[in-house]
């Protein structure tokens, strides 16, 4: 079971009490601006049931972001193994996040992302972590850049799981960060 603490957050595995937040984020049109669909309560509940019942591979849980000060859950984040061959290598690990819009612009996604990178590179001993988003999702790219990830234009692709009814959401940009580059960044930050 993965539990990570940051200055303002606790990242912990999903619990039954997180169901309403999951449903909220699965249907909020602001949060889902760059997704081809929203989920009904019934569909979101079905997906959440799968998440809560599956035993995730160690370190690859869907984690809930909880504010330390208030105990309020505000979103989800985690590391996952996307199945996007041939666009990503078979062993690729992706970092992602989804927060309630009322908690945007406060640095929580960057704080959680930085902690997950540390977890991935130090505890899971990953060689690389990637992230991807729709080509014009500038908020996501800003978080990726703040946590030290770099664009890889040669890896950009049209996402095969986006239906043809949403061509504006097909193009995805790829960001990467290697363990070696992350360690260099940590050393430079420590010297500052």
22-29 long-range contacts (CB < 8 A, ≥24 apart) are 22/47, 22/48, 22/51, 22/76, 23/48, 24/100, 25/75, 25/76, 25/98, 25/99, 25/100, 28/100, 28/101
What local confidence, expressed as pLDDT, does residue 68 receive? 97
Report pTM. Answer: 0.93
**Residue 4 has what pLDDT?**
95
List the one residue out of 148, 57, 137, 59 whose CA is nearest residue 98. 137
Q: Residue 123's pLDDT is what?
A: 94
Q: Report the pLDDT value the prediction gives residue 137, as an integer from 0 to 100.
A: 96
Residue 182's pLDDT is what? 98
In this prediction, residue 121 carries a pLDDT of 97
In order of start, what are the domains of the chain with their CATH numbers?
4-191 (3.40.630.30)
What mean pLDDT value characterizes the chain?
93
- Rounded to a whole number of angstroms, the distance between the first and last alpha carbons of the chain is 34
Q: Which residues contact 40 (CB under 8 A, 6 or more apart)?
A: 27
Residues of the chain with pLDDT under 50: none
Q: Which pLDDT value is given to residue 55?
A: 61
């Amino acid at each position: 079971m993965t539990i990570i603490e940051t200055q303002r957050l606790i990242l912990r595995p999903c619990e039954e009490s997180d169901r309403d937040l999951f449903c909220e984020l699965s249907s909020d049109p602001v949060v889902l601006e760059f997704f081809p669909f929203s989920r009904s309560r019934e569909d979101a509940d079905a997906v959440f049931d799968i998440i809560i019942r599956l035993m995730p591979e160690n370190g690859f849980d869907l984690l809930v972001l909880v504010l330390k000060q208030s105990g309020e859950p505000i979103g989800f984040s985690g590391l996952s193994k996307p199945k996007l061959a041939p666009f990503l290598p078979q062993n690729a690990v992706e970092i992602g996040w989804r927060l309630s819009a009322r908690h945007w612009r406060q640095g929580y996604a960057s704080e959680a992302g930085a902690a997950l990178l540390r977890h991935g590179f130090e505890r899971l001993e990953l060689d690389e972590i990637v992230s991807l988003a729709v080509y014009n999702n500038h908020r996501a790219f800003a978080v990726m850049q703040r946590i030290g990830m770099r664009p890889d234009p040669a890896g950009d692709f049209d996402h095969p799981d986006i239906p043809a009814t949403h061509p504006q959401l097909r193009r995805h940009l790829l960001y990467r960060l290697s363990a070696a580059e992350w360690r260099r960044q940590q050393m430079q930050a420590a010297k500052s």
